[in-house]
Amino acid sequence: MSKKIFVLLATVLLAGFGACSGGSSDNGPPSFIDGEYAGRLLWIKPGTFTMGTDNSADTGANPAHSVKLTKGFYMGKYEVTQALYEEVMKVNPSYYKGGGDLPVEMVTWYDAIEFCNKLSEAEGLQPVYLITGRTPADRYPITSATVEPNWEKNGYRLPFEAQWEYACRAGTTTPFYTGDVNSDTGWCLTYGDSETHPVGQKPANPWGLYDIAGNVYEWCWDWYGDYSGAETDPKGPGSGTDRVCRGGSWHDALQFLRSTYRKTVIPSNRHSYLGLRLVRP
């Protein structure tokens, strides 16, 4: 990692510890950390919201149910960019190239997991994931591995699906966080988009997150599974075949940018419409 990027990443670490251990508590005011990780991390305070929908046309997101998140978390203000991904991983797998501020895509779920660990290590944080049985052993894309999380670690990780929807909704209860949908809702096929766009060009959602709808889907930690009743701090099923992706993309019609829409992808697959956004405790 270059000296310049390392120093900037270290700035995130120092500011992050100050924000986490200082006046910003779980019930404190929102704050953000300036730094190199794709720009900034936004503080998402804990709360309770209605996850999913009772709309019969969106069966994968049925039923609507109450979810309580007891701990706040930091979430990337932007999707992970190609510039940061390449600096950390030494490769840029993206199909659409043309600028470091484009979101990285063409990453498997396993690639995203390893990126989380490598970025954590670069900042002196504790990696969240133990990765064993990696295939291939030392190249990309990673197509299989055993991943064991330790949620007590302080490093970067993928969001839980409930955290993602809570942050995307940002206090709204409408199908789209913009309420009345229009071209500002996100980059999507409905408005003639046919490729990715630099992060941060559309208006942010009410909590300051950019491209949380549209541009590229974002990997979540969770295995896909049916919803049940009310939950507290859900982390998804213990096993499965597909991981959940959220947010819609340039590749999709506007309807798939709904805050509730769940896409499932085999974790070894990668697509030019699928990237990632990170969180930290």
Whether the predicted model's global pTM rises above the 0.85 cut? yes
Average of per-residue pLDDT values in the chain:
88
pLDDT at 31: 39
Q: Where are the domains of the chain?
A: 3-280
- CB burial readout 227-236, b (16+ within 10 A) else e: beeeeeebeb
Which CATH number is 3-280 given? 3.90.1580.10
107 three-state secondary structure: coil
Which pair of tokens denotes residue 90?
């030494």
Task: Report how far residue 271's alpha carbon sits from residue 128's, in angstroms, rounded to the nearest whole number.
Answer: 25
Torsion of CA 225, 162, 148, 151, to 10 degrees: -150
Banded model confidence at residue 213, pLDDT cuts 50, 70, 90: very high
Q: Answer whether residue 20 shows pLDDT above 60.
A: no
Residue 55 CB: number of other CB atoms within 10 A? 14
Over the stretch 26-83, which tens digit does the pLDDT of each residue have?
443 333 444 455 447 999 999 999 999 999 888 899 999 999 999 999 999 999 999 9
